[in-house]
Amino acid sequence: MGRVSYKNIELDISDLSETSFGHENFIAGVAPFLKGPYSSMYLTRPWTIRQYAGFSTAEKSNLFYRKNLKAGQKGLSVAFDLATHRGYDSNHERVSADVGKAGVAIDSVEDMKILFDKIPLDKMSVSMTMNGAVLPIMAFYIVAAIEQNIELEKLTGTIQNDILKEFMVRNTYIYPPKESMRIVGDIFKFTSKNMPKFNPISISGYHMHEAGANAEIELAYTLANGLEYVKKGIEVGLDIDEFAPRLSFFWGIGMNQFTEIAKMRAARMLWAKIIKKFNPKNPKSMALRTHCQTSGWSLSENDPYNNIARTYIEAMAAVLGGTQSLHTNSLDEAIALPSENAARIARNTQIFIQNENKICNTIDPFGGSHHIEKLTNDIANKAWDLIQEVENQGGMTKAIEMGLPKMRIEEAAAKRQANIDTGKEIIVGLNAYKSLDDQQVDILEIDNKKVKENQINSISKIKSERNQEKVNRILEELTLAAKNNTGNLLEITIRAAKERATLGEISSALEKEFGRYKATVRSISGVYSKEIMEDEKYKKALELAKEFESVVGRRPRIMVAKMGQDGHDRGAKIVATSFADIGFDVDIGSLFQTPKEVAKSAIENDVHIIGVSSLAAGHLSLIPELIKELKKINREDIMLIVGGVVPKKDYQLLFDMGVAAVFGPGTVISEAAQDIIKIMLKGFLKK
């Protein structure tokens, strides 16, 4: 093990040797918190049941929240739609398919007031998953509380505000990394002064987990992000004890139960050692407190009722690892947004664990297990090596600019996909123990057109009733503050929200100075083929690709496209790297493209196929638009395929539109490649 220095602060875990590990010298509630952040853990207070939810309009989400709170949920966790995440009002032309689909649409403080109607914000802990448009969302929440006559110091909850991980995996960023980090610092300053019970950041490994990171990568990069945020807090003039006790973390929990337990124990130990080097006076500064969510990626479209068991196993891992709050995913989330019945089953899973198996009577129940202690030690050491790699590049912001974390995560994802495709990793009902029955579940459907119409009418009403001169003046002040690095951006945004400036207007005022970030598209190669080269299905796909080349005169060429505002690109990147290894020429479209932009790129790259990756339920809006654009330029010959989270009931609708093939969750990549080449060869041979 080595040392890393930051402004004369040395970070070292050399006392964690490869052979020396144990639990005898650790107790819960005392640094390094291996056994838990609190001395009594669940004996006096169990973890918070906090279901992540939001869909359609603020009115419908509010009713859903209130019903869940009556049924035993203890805290709110708000999911926003993709238009909101990306800083666009619902009437913006780029978000027509995204409004209200993967979360609740919030355009103004009036929407936020409706969202929390009859929910007392001084008594209810609120968690908000927001990063890109964090300033207007925080401002709307604060103004909603003020207009409920609630003092800000009574507000409790968490804003995610973890922008660094967005540049690695989730991609719901708006501004470049440096400018985004300024926003993080301003939120730290404002909340430290005005909202002492509110957590100004939730440092998230969950989205890395969902993008394919293994346990040590998720742990390392999440803590490295946390270290970067600590540096930022100190840079803006805060003492470590002013903000460190209110930092929180967020882990993804998968099916490898022992590894997930060890990951959480190792995280607490490493974080305590990192913060100790900043010389805190308050022991709570070194305690890592966390929210967890069961994996969405592990859920299978095949045999969906198996997902109830998966969620239970993952929930137990989170609890046995010592989480402070937990969201359990619903059985239907591999297909669509959770239905009310599926959400009830997921919530009740936690209620059963809390009340029926006596888990709350123990503290660190696996502590002392040789297997768990060794796993904890091994993960801690591997993660520390990765943290050092990042710090040696100058910290996470610099490492992100170099593309290092994104590359490591995509390599891990490609390797795992190959192991699943070959059956080395078993997914019950998918690549082993398959059911002969095609089970269907009821799913929640959102009328996107109706939601969009309601939101547009609401925006028009607000703009007709507000003082436009005041709004313009404050938005100009916000742009100048961004330009001149003066004032607190959150404080100015709160004043804009009070005057009913919209989320899109606030985001645009900052964009005038900061610009809108556009990621460089990179891809990896060779990782998938290295793991799968002896697999017969892979060999058959290679043969077909060569046959296509001999018949057509060139290799099959595919453009992998993401349309709309969904930035989750794990599936798209895995398809791109694996198809390239199989023998396709692969182009990767930019994120957030419109159908018109995708059609234009496809023509410019002279592709045979457009592969659309869809995860945000916008396929029935975006695919017809893409087909229309291809018709306009007389290129209906380009084959169109769709992959991702698409309900089976929508398959025929897509086929009727002209889509050649649809590949749902769990598709074996080499089999999909074979199907695509066969369809194309059939078409070329007919000619």
Residues 6+ apart with CB under 8 A from 439: 303, 304, 305
8 A C-beta contact, residue 69 and residue 319: no
Please pick, among 189, 263, 327, 568, the residue that the annotation labels catalytic: 568
Catalytic (active site) residue 89: no
Instruction: Single out the catalytic residue among 42, 52, 141, 528.
Output: 52
Q: Which long-range contacts (CB under 8 A, 24 or more apart) does 11-20 make?
A: 11/227, 11/273, 11/274, 11/277, 11/387, 11/391, 12/273, 12/277, 13/270, 13/273, 13/380, 13/381, 13/384, 16/269, 16/377, 16/380, 16/381, 16/384, 18/377, 18/381
Note the maximum CA span of the chain. 77
Return the structure tokens found at 43: 């004996």
Which residues, 6+ apart, have CB-to-CB distance to 122 below 8 Å? 145, 148, 150, 151, 154, 155
> Which among 82, 464, 133, 52 is positioned nearest to 90, based on CA atoms?
82
Residue 628: count other Cβ atoms within 10 Å of its Cβ.
Answer: 13
DSSP string, 107-162: -SHHHHHHHTTT--TTTS-EEE--STTHHHHHHHHHHHHHTTT--GGG--EEE---
Give the whole-angstrom CA distance, residue 602 versus residue 586.
11
Cα–Cα distance list, 92 to 95, 199, 377, 503, 622 (Å): 6, 31, 50, 11, 15
Reported in sequence order, the residue ranges of 174-327 that DSSP labels E, i.e. its strands, are 198-199, 201-204, 247-253, 289-294, 325-327
Query: Could you identify the residue written with the tokens 């355009």?
Result: 107
Residue 566 bears catalytic tag: yes
Is 206 considered catalytic here? yes
Tell me how long the chain is.
687
Respond yes or no: is residue 52 known to be catalytic.
yes
- Which are the contacts of 309, defined by CB distance < 8 A and separation ≥ 6? none
Q: Which of 175, 206, 221, 538 is catalytic?
A: 206
Q: Tell me, what DSSP letter sits at residue 604?
A: H
- Of 273, 277, 562, 608, which residue is the catalytic one? 562
Who contacts 289 (Cβ-Cβ below 8 Å, separation ≥6)?
37, 248, 249, 324
Task: Provide the token pair at 204.
Answer: 């998230």
Q: Residue 207 catalytic?
A: yes
Catalytic residue among 89, 332, 566, 569: 566
Which of the residues are catalytic? 52, 206-207, 562, 566, 568
